[in-house]
Structure 1
Amino acid sequence: MSGVLLALNAGSSSLKFALYEAATLAPLCRGGVAGLGETGQPAHFSAHGPEAGKLSALASLAPDIDHEGAARWLIDAIAARQPELELAVVGHRVVHGGAEFDRPVRVTPDILQRLSAYAPLAPSHQPHNLAPIRSLLASRPDLPQIACFDTAFHRTQPRLAQLFPLPRAFAERGVLRYGFHGLSYQFIAEELRLLRGERAQGRVIVAHLGHGASLCAMRGLTSVATTMGFTALDGLMMGSRSGAIDPGLLLHLILEEGMTAKALHELLYNESGLLGVSGVSDDLRALEADASPAAEEAMALFAYRAAREIGSLASAVGGLDILVFTAGIGENSPAMRARICAFLGHLGVAIDAEANRRGAASIGAAEAAAEVLVLATNEEAVIAEAAQRLWREGAGEP
């Protein structure tokens, strides 16, 4: 077999991967390492696909392994268990590319340094995205590594959608609304193009609902507006992130309650959202199995906040033709989909309860004006296609 392409997608506590034939993008296996950096929880590896058997037989990971170690372990495992697979190119999800990086690029030491400057804007992700890149640059400097940016999809937004109402000097030095989950939205846009043709060119809102959550409004399958902004903390209520919050409240916590910047960071990123409101868990599955009033209130608030933002984005595109649910919650929670859609009758949304319950691809009621779809996202496929394109074009040369 000729060379293989590895797509890496580092999350806050996980490292997902997909392995393809580099020349054809035929899938070989996919999986991931979960539980990275979680106290008391050992890291766990899983894989499936035609070439997954040899990897799945591997010994357990060190319990305290980090993202860089997990990536190194995975690449070493591929070499050890499947020596016929020669690694030709690696594609990476990188959450923040700022205004500078609006398309995939081969990572050099200089570009790595520039990307590191965005770490404070995505502290739960950017350092983990860059750790495997840094490790491979040191150990295999000639191996092409392609960075694919979550922010790039949103660079089509009009200027008004990107501006904050702050003094102009801030925008001029890059303080803008960037948006995230762009690789997911790019995949869904292409799926809609294939599935709905001309209708998909209309007013579309995609709900990427997972531990991190955001919405994207599209026209012509390009991003017009999104809920996340300068950082991935903005917008929707999430698993443990607050989402949008009154800045006056933050000033109150600092000035009146003496909260430090570090404590405020911990509160907003790791102690809020579903976890904070419920006091139970940041995992919707655990809340749906919990009968406590606090768990119910957390789920109700999550749906309310999502529905309010869908209404806001509908204003940005002039209505709603298609609503898409994707990502972990969007794809797997019929109850949450129903909660959110119950608020959206004024936008022509109504769902077929039975289709929603069984997780059909189309869950909208037949008579409803707006179509409602449930589509699985695949960020690794977007990464792989971009990495292959640059590798073939020779843009892999630094």
Structure 2
Amino acid sequence: MKKATPVLLVLNVGSSSIKFQVFERESLAVLMAGKVTGIGTSAQLSATLAGAEAPLRTPLPAADHDTAMAAVIALIDQHDDGWHLAAVVHRVVHGGADFRAPVLVTPDIVARLQALAPLAPLHQPHNLAGIAASERLASHALDIACFDTAFHARIDPLFQTFALPQALRAQGVRRYGFHGLSYEWLAHEIARTRPELREARVVAAHLGNGASLCAMHAGRSVDTTMGMTALDGLPMGTRSGAIDAGAVIYLQRELGMDSAQVEHTLYQESGLKGLSGVSSDMQALLASADPQAAFAVDYFALKVAQYTAMLAVSLGGLDALVFTGGIGENAEPVRAAVLARLQMLGRFETLVIAANEEKMMALHAKHLLPP
């Protein structure tokens, strides 16, 4: 009888998609990678097995998150290599002040994470839906939560604090930071492949549909551009990034928008989409002849450069700038535009490192699981 192969299922559950990878537990070799897209409309599961030339594709008519998760679990259960699902590893965007490291999921932890949903309304409910679905559909496997905020949890209070009354700060109104799993992977890869930069002052730029920067010294987070929510800092695909707080008051008091309308505008209609009126996709903007598309690209590059200079102050200098994420890795014109605005900082190295939050989550799970 063939010995079962313990595997880890790493999930990134979004509003209309589920991205997943299956890792062999000990070697962390990728055995399968795939995604479910179009959840809520015309969903489709696609997955590629290690060594296979063509992906597997399965339509999932009228799929909700439960149906999509069931299809992913079934694909793993039906595989003929004797996989045994040891754990399901979930990306959770907001861990608040309490969750500073990955944890085994319990009902109490789920309740505490649900209370943080208002701080990440585009992400947290879907992350928790993935946990609920895996508990029902793969009850034999342990659930592990990995947090995008954890990497920033030990930032000095000087970089965490809003200039607000203590009574509000005591209720958790502070800066948390996000994209921590991506930045932790970059720190891991820098230490592995560029040991001479292990102790360096690095600004990491995670640029994609969601975008932020992180100041790292010796592989630890010092400062970051996102704040209490994943809306702050850089402009993003559809998110505004930082704006004058008084503008939000104006939208409500003078323009008559209620909180739901303001939230929808700032999260769904702003950023590159709002600036260009063309698209939230950087490649589409770079290919467009529309002047507003060019303006959106220039604006984005300017803000990345401005925030990089700000984080260089937090670090006391800059030794390296690392680009990652869909835009950071693939949009060379954006990288060039950012670097052109940073010449006054003097000499520093520029690196491009592929994002791999899933591998970082698998590493955490391997160390957290009992032998």
Relative to the length of structure 1, the TM-score reads: 0.89
- Show structure 2 runs of 5+ residues with no match: none
Match of 2:292 in 1: 294
Q: SS where residue 127 of structure 2 aligns?
A: helix
Q: C-alpha offsets along residues 155-181 of structure 1, whole Å, 9 cap, x if unaligned?
A: 121011110000012222211100000
Distance 1:61 1:140 in 2: 20
Contact 1:68/1:128 (8 A) holds in 2: no
**Equivalences for 1:342-361 in 2 at 5 Å?**
342-348=340-346
Distance 2:333 2:46 in 1: 28
Asked if 1:392 is matched to 2:363, the reply is no
Distance 1:57 1:317 in 2: 46
**Equivalences for 1:208-287 in 2 at 5 Å?**
208-287=206-285
**Offset at 1:379?**
0.5
**Equivalences for 1:111-190 in 2 at 5 Å?**
111-190=109-188
**TM-aligned CA distance change 1:66 to 1:318, over 3 Å:** farther
Contact 2:73/2:138 (8 A) holds in 1: no
**Offset at 1:30?**
1.3
Q: Which moved more, 1:170-179 or 1:373-382?
A: 170-179
Match of residue 310, structure 1, among 304, 308, 311 = 308
Match of 2:39 in 1: 36
Q: SS where residue 78 of structure 1 aligns?
A: helix
Distance 2:107 2:22 in 1: 25
Contact 1:30/1:52 (8 A) holds in 2: no
**Offset at 1:277?**
0.8
Q: SS where residue 11 of structure 2 aligns?
A: strand
Contact 2:92/2:127 (8 A) holds in 1: yes
Contact 1:233/1:241 (8 A) holds in 2: yes
Match of 1:363 in 2: none
- Which structure shows the bigger proportion of residues in strand conformation? 2
Match of 1:375 in 2: 353
Distance 2:243 2:309 in 1: 18
Distance 2:25 2:73 in 1: 15
Contact 2:46/2:57 (8 A) holds in 1: no
Q: C-alpha offsets along residues 342-390 of structure 1, whole Å, 9 cap, x if unaligned?
A: 1100112xxxxxxxxxxxxxxxxxxxx2000011010000111111211
**Offset at 1:197?**
1.2
Distance 1:68 1:383 in 2: 22
Match of 2:45 in 1: 45
Match of 1:361 in 2: none
Aligned residues between the structures = 368
Distance 2:186 2:124 in 1: 23
Q: Which moved more, 1:10-19 or 1:96-105?
A: 10-19
Q: Which moved more, 1:206-215 or 1:102-111?
A: 102-111
% same residue:
51
Relative to the length of structure 2, the TM-score reads: 0.95
Distance 2:228 2:241 in 1: 12
Distance 2:51 2:171 in 1: 47
Match of 2:30 in 1: 27
For 1:332, the aligned partner's letter is: N
Distance 1:389 1:96 in 2: 21
Contact 1:104/1:148 (8 A) holds in 2: yes
Distance 2:355 2:323 in 1: 9
Distance 1:68 1:218 in 2: 38
Match of 2:56 in 1: 57
- Show structure 1 runs of 5+ residues with no match: 349-368, 394-398
Distance 2:357 2:294 in 1: 31
For 1:50, the aligned partner's letter is: A
Q: C-alpha offsets along residues 172-230 of structure 1, whole Å, 9 cap, x if unaligned?
A: 22111000000000000011111221323121000000000000001111000000010
Q: C-alpha offsets along residues 9-45 of structure 1, whole Å, 9 cap, x if unaligned?
A: 12343221111112332221212223334x6xx3333
Distance 2:105 2:18 in 1: 19
**TM-aligned CA distance change 1:46 to 1:57, over 3 Å:** closer
For 1:57, the aligned partner's letter is: L
Match of residue 15, structure 1, among 15, 18, 21 = 18
**Offset at 1:282?**
0.6
